[in-house]
């Protein structure tokens, strides 16, 4: 039986959170003399709501959850860090990642002095369920599954994810940063059945707000309350929350851009496959393509010289000679292909 309280670090469970002025009094009033703010209105002279209630309500409506199931952080990176701090005792507990995957899990673990155990994905970039569960022990608190996965681009097999959630003793974090490019595949509808599932999403990718820094955590309201207790009270600025609300209220624009980017991904896949430089264009459920090339380092340097920057992933496990290419505007994608065509006889 999974009991959330038993998983949480003792000091976090016992924490008496900082009570901000806006926590102690959040109702209506004519005169606010409680927070040492500058009283002259300019649209931002007051502290923002530490629980980001309006923002979370809009997100909950979009995701089909209750507002109490929604956490908002300064990017997903803050959510990742907070989860590690809630569950992992430094120097004692460990967490599991599935390489090749997103780099921040291991960086955040290192900052918090938490051991990282690796269970490599299979050559088709799917979790090896038995091997993954075999790396865990009674001190394993978190298992990070990135789906769709960065840098490989594919969704993780749903039945494998479910077997991991059922078999793992701690919290399974499914990072769905790219889920808006394949919305039917979210694990949100598994939350009701699995109290140890926690989902991370972001406004940085499909929503076009990487500059805003807004990450989303979705899960058990009890865990959301714990995360609220330990985060810096005003982690989302008023300006950021307002911009996000405005754009979230117009999802049509996001959906149109996603459709265009998916069409463009198809164009890039097709054109890249025609090149002799290309060995494999891996299947993608995201707005990027992992491409195995002949001589990826040389192509990377050549493209940089043409002022076109892609990501060289050659040094990541299972990604030898791979470039990760983000789908750009139609014009940008055609520039990339036109730049590659003249060097397509590099090996001959
Ligand atoms: C881009 C990305 C994020 C987003 O991080 P933010 O801090 O929300 O910008 C999270 N996870 C993965 C796997 C990503 O690729």
Q: Cα of 253 to ligand 1 centre, how many Å?
A: 21
Instruction: Tell which atom from ligand 1 comes closest to the C-alpha of 102.
Output: 13
User: 49: closest CA among 311, 171, 228?
Assistant: 228
Helix (H) or strand (E) holding 290: strand 288-293
User: 180: closest CA among 152, 201, 149, 195?
Assistant: 201
Distances (CA, A) of 66 to 82, 123, 233, 250, 277: 21, 38, 21, 20, 49
Among 204, 214, 218, which is best to mutate for testing ligand 1, by the most ligand atoms less than 8 A from CB? 204
Q: What pLDDT does 348 receive?
A: 47
The phi and psi torsions of 115 (rounded to 5 degrees) equal: -65, 135
CATH 3.90.1150.10 in the chain: give the residue spans: 252-343
Determine which residue's CA is closest to atom 3 belonging to ligand 1: 177
Specify the DSSP class assigned to residue 122: P
Among 59, 73, 77, 327, which is best to mutate for testing ligand 1, by the most ligand atoms less than 8 A from CB? 77
Determine which residue's CA is closest to atom 14 belonging to ligand 1: 177
The CATH class given to the 4-249 domain equals alpha beta
Q: Cα of 24 to ligand 1 centre, how many Å?
A: 33
Contact between 211 and 237 under an 8 Å Cβ cutoff? The reply is: no
User: 178: closest CA among 160, 158, 200?
Assistant: 200
Q: Cα of 76 to ligand 1 centre, how many Å?
A: 6
CATH 3.40.640.10 in the chain: give the residue spans: 4-249
CA geometry: angle 203, 144, 284, nearest 5 deg: 60
Mean pLDDT, contiguous 10-residue spans, the chain (348 residues) = 95 89 82 94 94 97 98 98 98 98 98 98 98 98 98 98 98 98 97 98 98 98 97 96 97 98 98 97 98 96 98 97 98 98 74
Q: Cα of 309 to ligand 1 centre, how many Å?
A: 19
CA-to-CA distance for 225 and 150, rounded, in angstroms? 29
Q: Cα of 200 to ligand 1 centre, how many Å?
A: 9
Q: What pLDDT does 28 receive?
A: 85
Among 78, 98, 104, which is best to mutate for testing ligand 1, by the most ligand atoms less than 8 A from CB? 104
CA-to-CA distance for 86 and 107, rounded, in angstroms? 16
User: 149: closest CA among 243, 7, 330, 283?
Assistant: 283
CATH domain 252-343 topology: 3.90.1150
Q: What pLDDT does 346 receive?
A: 53
């Amino acid at each position: 039986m999974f009991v959330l309280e038993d998983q949480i670090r003792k000091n976090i469970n016992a924490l008496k959170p900082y009570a901000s002025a806006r926590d102690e009094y959040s109702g209506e009033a004519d005169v606010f003399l409680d927070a040492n703010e500058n009283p002259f209105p300019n649209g931002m002279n007051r502290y923002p709501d530490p629980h980001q209630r309006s923002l979370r309500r809009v997100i909950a409506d979009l995701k089909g959850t209750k507002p109490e199931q929604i956490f908002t952080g300064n990017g997903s990176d803050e959510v990742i860090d907070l989860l590690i701090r809630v569950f992992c005792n430094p120097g004692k507990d460990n967490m599991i990642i599935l390489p090749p995957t997103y780099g921040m899990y291991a960086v955040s673990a290192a900052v918090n002095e938490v051991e990282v155990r690796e269970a490599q994905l299979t050559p088709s970039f799917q979790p090896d369920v038995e091997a993954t569960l075999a790396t865990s022990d009674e001190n394993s608190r978190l298992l990070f599954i990135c789906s769709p996965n960065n840098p490989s681009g594919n969704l993780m097999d749903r039945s494998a994810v479910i077997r991991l959630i059922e078999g793992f003793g701690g919290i399974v974090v499914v990072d769905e940063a790219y889920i808006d490019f394949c919305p039917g595949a979210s694990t949100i509808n598994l939350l009701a059945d699995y109290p140890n599932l926690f989902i991370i999403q972001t406004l940085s990718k499909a929503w076009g707000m990487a500059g805003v820094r807004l990450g989303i955590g979705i899960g058990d309201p009890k865990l959301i309350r714990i995360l609220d207790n330990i985060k810096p009270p005003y982690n989302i600025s008023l300006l950021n929350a307002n911009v996000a609300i405005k754009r979230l209220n117009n999802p049509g624009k996001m959906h149109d851009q996603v459709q265009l980017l998916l069409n463009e991904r198809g164009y890039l896949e097709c054109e890249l496959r025609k090149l002799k430089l290309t060995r494999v264009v891996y299947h993608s459920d995201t707005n990027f393509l992992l491409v195995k090339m002949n001589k990826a380092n040389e192509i990377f340097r050549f493209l940089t010289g043409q002022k076109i920057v892609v990501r060289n992933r050659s040094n990541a496990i299972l990604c030898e000679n791979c470039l990760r290419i983000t789908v750009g505007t139609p014009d940008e994608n055609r520039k990339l292909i036109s730049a590659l065509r003249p060097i397509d006889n590099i090996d001959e």
